[in-house]
Amino acid sequence: MKRRILTTAALVCCFMVCFAIIADMTGKWTGTVRTPDGNDLQIYYVFKVDGDKLTGTAKGDGDATPIDSGKMVGNDFSFSVTNPEGTVFKHSGKYYGDSVSMNIEFSGNKLHATLKRDDK
């Protein structure tokens, strides 16, 4: 009986460790987003996840900008980025392990991007 309980406890611990590893979006990510005028823009993100807090930077065609109000709940996340002109870009999406699906809203526009991990 003790052996069965210890085996079950060990398996549960292994699954918890695996899920903790899978659920970490920390790192560099890159993708492309089609702008409202039809151009493709390369975008770069550096994410750091600490519990349910998401921080980091976002970069498009300008300098890197800090992520504001970042939250991570399970594999879902949200944050905003404010560019130097004061435009707020609201981001929300889902982390899938090897990719990130993200929606970006600003000035009445909604854009979608898929990011891949950048191992460089």
Two tokens, residue 5: 């309980």
Q: For the chain, what are the domain ranges? A: 25-117
- CATH class of domain segment(s) 25-117: mainly beta
* pLDDT tens digits, one per residue of 75-99: 999 999 998 889 999 999 999 999 9
Distance between CA atoms of residues 111 and 98, nearest Å:
21
* Whole-number average pLDDT of the chain: 85
Q: Which DSSP symbol is given to 2?
A: H
Above 50 in pLDDT, residue 12?
no
Which residue, among 115, 120, 118, 119, has the nearest Cα to 41 in the 3D structure? 115
